[in-house]
Amino acid sequence: MSGDQIKVDFESLKTLKTDLQTILDEFSNADSNSETTANSTGHDTLADRVRSFSSTWSIKREEMTTNVQNMQQMIAQIVETFTKVDNDFKGSLSDAGQTA
């Protein structure tokens, strides 16, 4: 930020929102992915370990899913708010130019 200007990189925020959705998708598919991995190991003990890890990790994954969803909502709110402010400023400048 320089002087009295605020610059918001909307593309980076949109990319972040997309990346967060990718994380959520991965989390939601984790159980089926781990089952596929367990079945592919070819070793019963290793397969059991994969399933055990997935089960144990499930609790933390649920917490992280909630946090990522909250971050997505915050990013959406930031974009919405700055877009509104930007449009309001544009309107004010247009109005000021017409009355000058």
- pLDDT tens digits, one per residue of 68-95: 999 999 999 998 998 898 888 888 877 6
Indicate whether 3 belongs to any domain. no
C-alpha to C-alpha distances, 15 to 7, 59, 73, nearest whole angstrom = 17, 27, 14
- Average per-residue pLDDT for the chain: 88
Q: What is the pLDDT of residue 1?
A: 45
Indicate whether 30 belongs to any domain. yes
Q: What is the pLDDT of residue 97?
A: 66
Indicate whether 33 belongs to any domain. yes
Q: Based on the structure, what is the number of domains in the chain?
A: 1
Tokens of 32: 């089926």
Indicate whether 20 belongs to any domain. yes
Indicate whether 5 belongs to any domain. no
Q: Tell me which residue range forms the domain holding 14.
A: 10-90
Reply yes or no on whether the pLDDT at 14 is more than 90: no
List pLDDT tens digits, range 22-38: 999 999 998 888 999 99
Indicate whether 15 belongs to any domain. yes
Indicate whether 2 belongs to any domain. no
Tokens of 74: 């915050």
Reply yes or no on whether the pLDDT at 100 is more than 60: no
Residues contacting 33, CB < 8 A, separation 6+: 26
C-alpha to C-alpha distances, 67 to 11, 54, 85, nearest whole angstrom = 22, 19, 27
Q: In the chain, pLDDT over 90 holds for what percent of residues?
A: 56
Q: What pTM was computed for the model?
A: 0.70
Tokens of 96: 């000021």
Reply yes or no on whether the pLDDT at 5 is more than 90: no
